[in-house]
Homo-oligomer: A and B are copies of this chain.
């Protein structure tokens, strides 16, 4: 196991423990109704690499913030990410019955429970950010709330999902351009990865310059992540990848790979990997683990 993999696993365990504790809080008549709590647990405790929490924790550690101090923010972000998966999986959206081999929330419960569990997790993420355990300074907590609301909202993740579904369900636009696909991906998957890095900088009360460098790192990393995914779908075989491939082409979905071709997409991936690594230059050796995260994201495309 590489240092990167060990830290990824360790931060995932820390995040899981935090989320488990939050969801088991106040199991009584003044607490969360039991069916809703079970659905929220099902959504959140379903495993996953916890890559966004890893980024929050590792970026903040550049500024001497301990894992313990960064955990609430990491957990809040993961709550929001999990809500987005619960709603995306709904029959009215992507209609997915399985996620990581387990029934999705609506399949395990029903649609209304999944809608409410998603709403509850989204709301909970802001509640967690507002707590003093997130940061002793309320100004920092307020900056985190603002940044997460922008990243997760209509000009960020939800907006990206709206563009994606307009394309899938309404065929609008009829011929997406490369710029359009990049905007969609930067919103739908990029915004939360960018926020993870920005949140680490906010927790560490980084300088404006450091914060901008880390947002840029997050933006480039998000692109790496997405193109690697698209390449995997286009060129991987199901046995190696561990899930069905060729889904984008079968669905006629416009991706950077379908618009650029495989070779040009690989070139662009390499350019974005280098850009992300360049963003880390100001941090010298301290940025080594974040550099490994870029290679981790890119290597899935091999």
Contact = CB atoms under 8 A, between A and B. Distances in A.
Contacts of A161: 116
Interface stretch (A66-74, A121-129, A197-205, A257-265): A121-129
A169 B110 CA distance: 11
Contacts of A148: 126
Interface string A17-43: 000000000100111110111001000
A155 interface: yes
Contacts of A40: 154
B123 A154 contact: yes
Nearest to A84: B119
A194 interface: no
A115 interface: yes
Contacts of A149: 123-124, 126-127, 130
Contact of A142 (B32, B145, B150): B145
A158 interface: yes
Interface string A29-69: 11111011100100000000000000000000000000000
A247 to B, nearest CB: 19
Contacts of A266: none
A116 B187 CA distance: 14
A146 B163 contact: no
Contacts of A215: none
Across the A-B interface, give the 9 residue pairs with the lowest CB-CB distance, nearest first. A127-B149, A92-B111, A130-B146, A123-B153, A120-B154, A36-B162, A32-B154, A138-B142, A138-B139
9 contacts: A29-B183, A36-B159, A87-B115, A113-B162, A113-B165, A120-B158, A123-B154, A126-B149, A127-B145
